[in-house]
């Protein structure tokens, strides 16, 4: 029967994603509420010097993405860097990388549902935020269940809305700063008022990096999409070039404009600082339009988050780490429905968390998700040197990342400095401790349950271990 579930090991995922889809998956996974809402928390930590944090974060994202593209072209698999960590360091490293990323990208969209509920609550204050969050979770589940091509189209248009909005914001803000719109309360002096450019010093910049990295987390989603790309060797380098231009221009330029329009002490996570800035520039009507944009940004990020986590779970199940039900493909669209449903469960849990812990739900979820993304980026950087040798021996090294021999070292140093920086901000050590506990839990699970299942699956395939 055509609609019967089939094993992912027997039938591949549908190759329904084009270059424009993959570009917007990368951009969509990045420019979400983690940026439109989370930027307020990062500004509160670092002040105007948050610009440096976003610049460093953007360069780090580009370098990690460059290393990932090299591996993804040579080995286009849905598990992406989980598979590369496995090949480079063994099944234990592969499992820890894949499951940590899965959790990080699960928690990220969970925080985005809270953000989406917050934005909708502005228009309908009589309806609780958690109700909106549940509705958003259900809607995004349906979008991902339909099929990868439909998902790609939805993500393309959602991401396009926020890209256009950021360009308009940059132009409008620049006009206000340069005096073209003289009545607007925007000034370069906002960069140095209230304590100077870096009121919390270097510690504040690195302290803000985890929230900044949560904003950038999602660029690596194109690695998980490689197996469903029509031509990864053609599409991925093109996506790499276009993504970094969009990220650096849209992120750094918009943050620079934002900090000159909105005094940094007014930024926070109770509302989007971009909405607050637009209200200063254009009044309530413009603020409502921007609120719609940040809502679509949250929906876009949830959409790409479900996609990435479901494919990671699918891949890990296919390798034997988890029960085989998650590697079943159902329906004519050949979508891993069980993996999608498992991945969307966290969205509903995020909505419920807000009911019981509304004061810290968003920031805590975003910070913990940032830890997971940083750990995944660390494993991408560490895996690349060994994977390059493997791909060279196989004759599959089809594209070389420029300067890879030193780029991976720079990535490791920046990531390590970001983790150390958390020790210098309030509550930062809690995130590090929670991350360490999670890593220990994944290793314990692997030894207790995952290892035997993985070994049995690989032996059944005839893989030499």
CATH number, domain containing residue 58:
1.20.1740.10
On whether residue 39 sits in a domain, the answer given is yes
Directed axis angle between helix 337-356 and helix 273-318, to 10°?
140
Q: Quick one: pLDDT band at residue 410, thresholds 50, 70, 90?
A: very high
Whether 206 maps to a domain, the answer reads yes
pLDDT at 7: 44
Q: Which domain holds residue 141?
A: 6-461
**Residue 1 — pLDDT band, cuts 50, 70, 90?**
very low
Higher pLDDT pick, 357 / 336: 336
- Cα dist from 297 to 28, 263, 301, whole Å: 7, 24, 6
Average pLDDT, the chain: 77
Residue 8 has pLDDT above 70, yes or no: no
Q: What pLDDT score was predicted for residue 281? A: 86
d(CA 82, CA 454): 14
The residues, any chain, with a CB within 8 Å of residue 67's CB and separated by 6 or more, are: 380, 381, 384, 401, 404, 407, 408, 411
Q: Residue 431: what pLDDT?
A: 75
- Name the band, by pLDDT with cuts 50, 70 and 90, for residue 412: very high
Please name the residue ranges forming H helices in 319-464: 337-356, 361-394, 404-421, 428-445, 451-461
Answer yes or no: is 295 within a domain.
yes
The domain tally of the chain equals: 1
| CA 400 vs CA 131, 245, 358, 387: distances in Å | 48, 20, 46, 12
Residue 64 lies in a domain: yes
Alpha carbons within 13 A on the beta-carbon side of 119: 28
Residue 455 lies in a domain: yes
Distance CA 376, CA 220 (A): 9
Q: Check residue 381 and report its DSSP letter.
A: H
The answer to whether 37 and 122 have CB atoms below 8 angstroms apart is: no
Residue 57: name the closest of 411, 421, 438 by CA.
Answer: 411
Buried b (16+ CB within 10 A) or exposed e, 257-294: bbbbbbbbeebebebbbbbbbbbbbbeeebbeebbbbb
pLDDT in tens, 77-112: 765 778 889 889 988 888 888 888 877 777 777 777
Residue 106's nearest CA partner among 369, 446, 378 is: 369
The residue with greater pLDDT, 290 or 421, is 290
| Residue 1 placed within a domain | no
Using the predicted structure, report yes or no on whether residue 233 has a pLDDT greater than 80: no
Residue pair 418/374 in contact by the 8 Å Cβ criterion: yes
Distant-in-sequence, close-in-space partners of 274: CB < 8 Å, separation ≥ 6: 36, 39, 169, 254, 258, 290, 294
Place of tokens 């953000």: 115
CA distances for 4 relative to 227, 315, 320, 330, 450, angstroms? 22, 19, 21, 6, 27
* Residue among 90, 144, 94 nearest 345 (CA): 144
Say how many CA atoms lie within 13 Å of 287 toward its Cβ: 15
Q: What is the mean pLDDT of residues 160-181?
A: 83
- pLDDT surpassing 70 at residue 221: no
In 3D space, the residue among 243, 270, 273 whose CA is nearest the CA of residue 257 turns out to be: 273
Q: Is 147 exposed, middle or buried (0-12, 13-18, 19+ CB in 10 A)?
A: middle
Per-residue model confidence (pLDDT) at position 9: 43
The token pair at 231 is: 């031509």
Residue 188's pLDDT band (boundaries 50, 70, 90)? confident
């Amino acid at each position: 029967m055509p609609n019967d579930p089939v094993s992912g090991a027997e039938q591949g995922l549908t190759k329904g994603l084009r270059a424009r889809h993959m570009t917007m998956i990368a951009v969509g996974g990045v420019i979400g509420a983690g940026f439109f809402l989370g930027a307020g928390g990062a500004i509160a930590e670092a002040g105007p010097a948050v610009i440096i944090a976003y610049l460093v974060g953007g360069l780090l994202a580009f370098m990690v993405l460059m290393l990932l593209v090299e591996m993804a072209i040579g080995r286009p698999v849905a598990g992406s860097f989980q598979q590369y960590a496995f090949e480079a360091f063994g099944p234990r490293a592969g499992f820890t990388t894949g499951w940590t990323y899965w959790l990080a990208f699960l928690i990220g969209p969970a925080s985005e549902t809270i953000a989406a509920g917050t934005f909708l609550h502005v228009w309908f204050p009589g309806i609780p935020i958690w109700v909106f969050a549940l509705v958003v979770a259900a809607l995004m589940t349906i979008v991902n269940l339909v099929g990868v091509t439909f998902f790609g189209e939805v993500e393309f248009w959602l991401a396009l809305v926020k890209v256009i909005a950021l360009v308009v914001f940059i132009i409008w803000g620049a006009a206000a700063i340069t005096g073209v719109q003289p009545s607007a309360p925007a000034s370069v002096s906002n960069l140095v008022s209230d304590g100077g450019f870096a009121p919390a010093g270097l510690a504040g910049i690195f302290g803000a990096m985890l929230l900044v990295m949560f904003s950038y987390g999602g660029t690596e989603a194109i690695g998980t999409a490689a197996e469903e790309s029509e031509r990864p060797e053609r599409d991925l380098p093109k996506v790499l070039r276009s993504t970094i231009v969009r990220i650096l221009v849209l992120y750094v330029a918009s943050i620079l404009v934002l900090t000159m329009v909105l005094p940094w002490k007014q930024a926070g996570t109770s509302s989007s600082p971009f909405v607050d800035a637009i209200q200063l520039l254009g009044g309530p009507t413009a603020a409502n339009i921007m609120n719609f944009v940040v809502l679509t940004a949250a929906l876009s990020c949830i959409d790409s988050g479900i996609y990435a986590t479901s494919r990671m779970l699918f891949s890990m199940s296919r390798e034997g780490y988890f029960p085989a039900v998650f590697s079943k493909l159902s329906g004519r669209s050949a979508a891993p429905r069980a993996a999608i449903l498992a991945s969307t469960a966290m969205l509903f849990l995020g909505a419920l968390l807000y009911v019981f812990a509304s004061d810290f739900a968003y920031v805590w979820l975003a910070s913990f998700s940032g830890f997971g993304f940083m750990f995944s980026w660390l494993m991408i950087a560490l895996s690349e040197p060994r994977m390059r040798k493997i791909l060279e021996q196989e004759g599959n090294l089809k594209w070389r990342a420029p300067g890879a021999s030193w780029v991976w070292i720079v990535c490791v140093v920046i990531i390590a400095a970001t983790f150390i920086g958390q020790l210098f901000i309030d509550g930062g050590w809690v995130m590090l401790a929670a991350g360490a506990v999670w890593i220990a839990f994944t290793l314990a699970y692997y030894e207790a349950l995952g290892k035997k299942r993985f070994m049995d699956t690989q032996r059944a395939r005839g893989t030499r271990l």
